[in-house]
Amino acid sequence: QVQLVESGGGLVQTGGSLRLSCAASGRTFSRYAMGWFRQAPGKEREFVAAISSSGSTTYYADSVKGRFTISRDNDKNTVYLQMSSLKPDDTAVYYCAASWTDRNDPFYIRTTDYPYWGQGTQVTVSS
């Protein structure tokens, strides 16, 4: 089992940048595929970015491609989401999620693929 704690959210102007961090507990972080999701008021939680357990593969939602970068440091048990060129539509609570992997270094993009979730961090982009 893994516990996740997000940080780094806040208020930023349109065009600004933020870096979110997600710290994981446990000694087997390198065996977890990780993902970032977000949920805006009145909307369903949606996929943002994913990274495989080794960090060799990343995948992004079309809405953030070219603006957001997911990365991980397995020595620090942390996954990051660097967000640039932020827009008001990026306003949401951002969640990191983890899924144990035992084969083939996969990544996942569905909420149902992730059994472990953090508590979320608010990102607000003002116009």
Condensed to tens digits (0 to 9), the pLDDT of residues 69-95 reads 999 999 999 999 999 999 999 999 999
Q: Cα dihedral sign for 34, 16, 67, 126? A: positive
| pLDDT recorded at residue 66 | 98
- The answer to whether 40 and 91 are in contact (CB under 8 A) is yes
Confidence of residue 105 (pLDDT cuts 50, 70, 90): confident
Question: Torsion angle, CA of 6/126/64/120, rounded to 10 degrees?
Answer: 20
Instruction: Give the span between the Cα atoms of 17 and 42, in whole angstroms.
Output: 24
Condensed to tens digits (0 to 9), the pLDDT of residues 12-50 reads 999 999 999 999 998 799 999 999 999 999 999 999 999
Confidence of residue 104 (pLDDT cuts 50, 70, 90): confident
